[in-house]
Amino acid sequence: MNEFNLIRNYFETSSYQRRDVKVGIGDDAAITQIPDGQYLATTTDTLLESVHFLEGSAPNAIAHKSLAVNLSDLAAMGAEPAWINLSLSIPSADELWLSEFSNKIRELTEYFSIQLIGGDTVKGDLAITITAQGFVPPDSILTRSSAKPGDWIFVTGTLGDAAAGLDVLLGKLDVHDLTHKNALVNRHYYPTPRVLAGQTLRRLASSCIDISDGLLQDMQHVLNASSVGAVLNLDQLPISKALGKSIPHLEQALEYACTGGDDYELLFTVPEVHRVSVESAMASYNIPCTCIGQVTGAQGKLELRLNDEAYALSGKQSTGFQHF
C-alpha cells in the first residue's frame, strides 16, 4: 500500500464532516471558516511509544489518548473543539493497526462533532501528533493566570486512577478485585477529556488548567502564572472507589492523587460569587466536581493539609511527571 492509498483508505473518510470545512483532506491545505466574532484556540500534543504509552498498546487506545489529551487542552481554555490535524509516524503500513486506529478516530470525531481536516504520514518510530482547534467567545477565555486570593479550588472527577492503572500494567501495584483493576487500567488507556465542563466554566471560573502531570505540579503552574498561593485539603481529594478500595494505605492513595499524571481532569478556581452557580451548573450536567482548597495571597506557595494539619507527602516522586 503506498502513502496515498493509505491516506485515502484510512483517513480521508474516517471522520465526522462539518459544514465549516470548505476544503478538507486531499489538497495542500485545509480551508475552514471561523464563526463570526469568535477566537480560535489551537493546541498540539505528541505521543511517543514507550514515553506516553506502553509499547504494544492497542491502536484504539493510542488513538483515544492522542485525541483526548488535545481535547483536554482545549477544554481547559473553555473552547469548543472543531477541527483536528493528525501527523502520524508509523514503522510500517500495518493494515490491522491502521484500521483499528482510524476506526477509533472516526468514533471520537463523531462523538465530539469534530472533523479531521488534514495531516501528514511518514515512516518512522511510532509517534502521533494531533493538533486540535476550537472556538471560544472573546469574553470567556479561561487561562491559568487569573486566580485570585479567596477563590475556591475545584477539580472534576477523581484523581490518581490513571497513574494507579499504569502501575497495575507495570506490575508495580497488585489489585485483586477485577472490577477495580479494570476501572483503573481503563482510566489509563481511555482518559475522558472534560470538554463540556470547560465550556460550562466560561465566565464562572477565574482560572483553569487540565491535570496532565499530577495535581500538585499543575496546581503550581496556576500559582506561578497567577502569582498566588494555595491551601489544598488532602482529606477532600476525590478518590474513586476503585483506587480507595485497591489501596489500603491512605498515604499511598494520596500520593497517586497528588502526583499521578494522565488524569485529564480540570483543576479550576472559582470566586465566591460564582461558587453556587458552578456547583449547580456542573450538577445539572452530571459532571462530578469537588472543592479541594482555597487560593491564598502567599505567592507561589502550595500548602498541603490533612484534617487541618500541615502535611508532607513522603513519596520520592512528589513533584509529578517531567520529561527532562
Mask of contacts with ligand ADP, 101-140, x by CB under 6 A?
A: ---------------x-xxxx-------------------
Stretch that binds ligand ADP, among 25-33, 65-73, 216-224, 295-303 (CB under 6 A): 25-33
The residue (of 92 and 299) whose beta carbon lies closer to ligand ADP is 92
20 is in an annotated binding site: no
The closest residue (CB) to Mg ion is 28
Cell numbers standing for residue 43: 493546541
DSSP 57: -
Subset of residues 17 to 46 that bind Mg ion, contact rule: CB under 5 A: 28
Residue 262 CB coordination number (10 Å): 23
174 is in an annotated binding site: no
28 is in an annotated binding site: yes
156 is in an annotated binding site: no
Under 8 Å between Cβ of 322 and 261: no
Angle at 172 between CA 171 and CA 175, to 5 degrees: 75
Phi, psi of 82 (to 5 degrees): -135, -50
β-pairing verdict for 302-306 and 229-233? parallel
Q: At what angle do helices 95-112 and 59-76 cross, to 10 degrees?
A: 30
Stretch that binds ligand ADP, among 26-34, 191-199, 273-281, 289-297 (CB under 6 A): 26-34
25 makes contact with ligand ADP (CB under 6 A): yes
Angle at 212 between CA 209 and CA 214, to 5 degrees: 95
27 makes contact with ligand ADP (CB under 6 A): yes
> Which has the closest alpha carbon to 199: 307, 310, 282, 322?
282
**What is the residue-wise DSSP string for 186-233?**
HHHHS----HHHHHHTTTT-SEEEE-SS-HHHHHHHHHHHHT-EEEEE
Subset of residues 177 to 236 that bind ligand ADP, contact rule: CB under 6 A: none
Q: How far is the CB of 27 from Mg ion (least distance, A)?
A: 8
The annotated binding site for substrate is made up of 52, 262, 321
The annotated binding site is made up of 28, 43-45, 52, 73, 119-120, 144, 210, 212-213, 262, 321
Binding interface with ligand ADP (CB under 6 A): 7, 11, 25-28, 86, 88, 116, 118-121
The annotated binding site for Mg(2+) is made up of 28, 43-45, 73, 120, 210, 213
Binding interface with Mg ion (CB under 5 A): 28
The annotated binding site for ATP is made up of 119-120, 144, 212
